[in-house]
A and B are shown apart, each in its own frame.
Chain A
Amino acid sequence: MVETQGSYSAADSGKVLPAVARGGAAAARGGLWEFEVVGRIWRFFTSVRLALVLILILTGAVLVGTLLDQIPPSVLADSSAHAQWLERARTKYGVWTNAFDFLGLFNVFHGLWFRVLIGLLTTNIIVCTLNRWKGIWATVFPPRVRMSDTFFQHARYNATFAAPMTLPAAAERVKRSLRRSRYRVKMEADGESVAIYADRNRFSRFGTFLAHLSLVLILAGTVVGGMWGFSDSEFIVAEGATRDLGLGTNISVGLDHFTDEYWLEGPPKDFRSDIVIYEGGKEVKRGVTRVNSPVSYKGIRFHQSFFGQAAVMRVKDEAGAELFNAAVPLAWETRDGGRPIGSFDLPSQGVTVYVVGPRSGETDPLVPAGEMRVEVYKRSGGALVAAENVSQGTAKQVAGLNLTFARESRFTGLKVVKDPGTNIIWVASALMVVGLIMLFYLPHRRLWALVKRRDDGTAEVRVGMTAQRDMSLEAEFSRLRERVASALRGAKGGRTSAQGDNDV
């Protein structure tokens, strides 16, 4: 926790939980060893040094995760794909590949030790927060109003004024001048003196709790999202088609039309999909999803993510009955060099048909423009039955099927997300911003004053401020000093001193 007053050493050495710390002595006498263990663990987690070390290790981990290629989660789930990925990585990382893989450096962000680090830091934050709560509460509620003479002598910023007026009058003027500086003022009077306490932004110190709490909440948000959310980042629908979303929903999505527009200069201007959402077979929503404006339905959002070419294919069997008539998204790439490829199944024939489009941007000897290459494979065993090129609009007999490449079309790639954790993330973010603003821009300021009656019936005013360790109060103090001095009209400036080492 970021503390601006010097209570760290105390927290660091574990003085803060005397009851638990004393458990050590009790253990020797009465065998309460659990207390000692708990106490030790507690003290371990109260350390700011631990927080610092964890942050630095996390920083290093995140850096490694950025510098090294990371295995996509889908690849990680499949052991053969994983092995393939490593083979490719070997060309880049050579002999280090296995070591990196063993240490989980190719999977930093979803790996075990990254989670352990996050877990430790979270525990650290929670324990520090609990540990500091009482101390901070005590400095704020209720504040100590009367300070001793030694306090005023040793306060880092202090000043003394002679006030040619009665004790109550002087106290009243000090109070008014502090109020005018938007300080909250508390007073305690006895016969001979009036003690004054004044402060501003007393809630500032709670900013540190908000900021740290928000980190814990963000983590909670990711957990909630992981448990109750889902996402499909490659939901592909061709124009005119409708697909079930799956993922435990009863929803399907159809694409009416995909549009891409370009600026005159060349770069893309707009990608948009006109989609229709069905629930239980009934149309429930129509909308246009664009890159910066997703369509959402019942907490599920449909984001425009990518797009590509599709081929409208028609297939009839020998008897002339239609087996298939739809756009096939050519959303993948052939391994031999970047031709768009897609497929569809014909369960009744026991085959899968692959459709390969021409390589873009050049004349392709295998698939000339205006043609599609069709490859028919057995569904069981995967043997190639036939491979032929078909030109647009002309039916062709391939492996006993009457195949037509009717026309070119488009498909859209949507990212479909449901993440109930995001709301927690935004609340946490707001807390973070508010907390940091409180902590840094509205710092807690405290001032004490003691107004004493002198033998000649006039009064003497002493004021003192303690600075938080890492901030200079120079400007604030001199402003307040001037205010108080002018309020005690006739009291000339006063003897002042700033004992800080920040004098410039």
Chain B
Amino acid sequence: MYELSQYAFVAAFVALAAALLLHLVNVLGARGLQALSVGGGGTVSVPTFGPILDTAGRYGTILTVNSFAFLTASLVFRAIAAGHGPFSNMYEFSLAFGWGALALFLYFQFQYRLRTLALLVLPIALGLLAYATTVPSEITPLVPALQNDLLLTVHVAVAIIAYGAFAIAFGAAVLFLIQRRDTVRWLPKKVLLDEIGYKAVMVGFPMMALVIILGALWADIAWGTYWSWDPKETASLVTWLLYGAYLHARVLRGWRGERSAALLILGFGATLFTYYGNLFFGGLHSYG
């Protein structure tokens, strides 16, 4: 099972890298075409290259789906091999975070028919998988603090969805800032990017609340206190507060648009900090 999990991981990694490449061809090619037609080079090339670029995008999507399937398989095999949810060390958590980002990406892509988001989200997922290759991948038995199958699985699974959603919001926010005046034709319109960012936070924010609540519940059982300002607890609270600030900012005059987008980027920074913070600060979450 462990070997199967490793093979599936490699397949997911390769498929994802190829998917990113195809998406790059698709989007940068479209950008090239825009430059050509704007530069007065004529529209001759559009009918020739347009379909090719489109095909690249389509295969990019197919490969992303494949990568997601392999990653799912890898996590499932690993869970079977380990006998618990694959969420107990940095290797497993990186895979799971990458899985979450891909899952949410695919959901939003099929919901909005929007491939451009791939340019930001796929590198994040790929980065996480690449990071996973640098940390020990052995299955280690659970230390006493983690021996709570239900909470381990739910607490972390919900965290993965939340982080994945925040990755999508981040991608949408970056594209939003690039798109500022709705002049970039190869990018979706501003309003759409704004909406995607918001919808992603609508998924992520309640999930993050649930992560913190489940964490507090677990801490109360295992450590005898629901809150101890442990670095990871604190970072997750900061993350949640930032997205709370975003939700309030979005309806305020003067904070709509670019400033809200900036908050989403800041929020994802906090998300990554929450994810990696325990490595820098130790604290009660230092399992990885």
Chain A residues with CB under 8 Å of chain B are: 1-4, 6, 8-9, 12, 48-49, 51-52, 55-56, 58-59, 62-63, 65-66, 70, 109, 231, 233, 263, 265, 267-271, 290-294, 301, 303-305, 415-417, 419, 422, 425-426, 429, 432-433, 436-437, 440-441, 469-472, 501-502, 504
Contact = CB atoms under 8 A, between A and B. Distances in A.
B262 to A, nearest CB: 12
A222 to B, nearest CB: 8
Given A2-B251, A265-B140, A501-B191, A109 B210 contact: no
A4 B252 CA distance: 11
A52 B255 contact: yes
Interface of B: 112, 140-141, 143-145, 147-148, 188-189, 191-192, 195, 198, 202, 205-206, 209-210, 213, 216-217, 220-226, 229, 231, 234-235, 237-238, 241-242, 244-245, 247-253, 255, 277, 281
| Nearest 7 interchain pairs by C-beta | A303-B224, A291-B144, A436-B206, A415-B224, A263-B141, A429-B213, A55-B245
A426 B253 contact: no
Contacts of A303: 222-224
B210 to A, nearest CB: 6
A432 B148 CA distance: 24
Given A52-B255, A268-B144, A440-B206, A109 B229 contact: yes
Nearest to B208: A436
B216 A425 contact: yes
B209 A433 contact: yes
Q: Which of A55, A268, A305, A432 has most B Cβ within 10 Å?
A: A55
Contact of A55 (B188, B224, B234, B244): B244
A73 to B, nearest CB: 11
A426 B212 CA distance: 12
A504 B209 contact: no
Contact of A433 (B144, B206, B221): B206
Given A52-B248, A55-B248, A501-B191, A231 B225 contact: yes
Contact of A292 (B222, B250, B253): B222
Contacts of B144: 268-271, 290-292, 304
A304 B216 CA distance: 17
A501 B194 CA distance: 12
Nearest to B233: A66
A48 B145 CA distance: 41
Contact of A66 (B222, B235, B251): B235
Contacts of A8: 251-253
18 contacts: A2-B248, A2-B251, A6-B251, A51-B248, A52-B248, A55-B242, A66-B234, A66-B281, A231-B224, A233-B224, A269-B143, A291-B144, A291-B147, A303-B223, A303-B224, A305-B224, A426-B217, A429-B217
A9 B221 CA distance: 45
A504 B191 CA distance: 9
A292 B206 CA distance: 26
Contacts of B229: 65-66, 70, 109
Contacts of B213: 429, 432-433
Contacts of B112: 504
A48 B251 CA distance: 9
B147 A292 contact: yes
Contacts of A293: 221
Given A3-B251, A265-B140, A294-B224, A59 B242 contact: yes
Contacts of A291: 144-145, 147, 222
Nearest to B114: A504
A52 B235 contact: no
Contact of B249 (A52, A419, A425): A52
B114 to A, nearest CB: 9
A355 B182 CA distance: 76
Contacts of A66: 229, 231, 234-235, 238, 277, 281
Given A62-B238, A66-B231, A66-B235, A417 B141 contact: no
Nearest to B245: A55
A122 B43 CA distance: 60
Contacts of B191: 501-502
A472 B225 CA distance: 42
A422 B227 CA distance: 11
Contact of B140 (A267, A270, A501): A267
B241 A58 contact: yes
Contacts of B147: 270, 291-292
A416 B148 CA distance: 21
Nearest to B247: A2
Nearest to A60: B238
Nearest to A443: B202
A414 to B, nearest CB: 9
B224 A301 contact: yes
B271 to A, nearest CB: 13
A305 B224 CA distance: 9
A327 B222 CA distance: 27
A1 to B, nearest CB: 8
A293 B220 CA distance: 10
Contact of A268 (B143, B224, B237, B281): B143
A269 B142 CA distance: 7
A293 B221 CA distance: 7
Contacts of B231: 66
B141 A269 contact: yes
Contacts of A56: 245
Contact of A469 (B237, B238, B245, B251): B251
A267 B141 contact: yes
B83 to A, nearest CB: 13
A289 to B, nearest CB: 10
A415 B248 contact: no
A233 B192 CA distance: 52
B241 A59 contact: yes
B255 A292 contact: no
Nearest to A272: B144
Nearest to A49: B252
Contacts of B226: 422, 425
A80 to B, nearest CB: 25
Nearest to A108: B229
Contacts of B143: 267-269
A429 B209 CA distance: 9
Contacts of B245: 52, 55-56, 59
Nearest to B146: A292
Among B189, B210, B242, B252, the one with the most A-chain Cβ atoms within 10 Å of its Cβ is: B252
A3 B231 CA distance: 31
Contacts of B248: 1-2, 48, 51-52, 55
Contacts of A432: 209, 213
Nearest to A233: B224
Given A8-B252, A52-B252, A417-B224, A440 B202 contact: yes
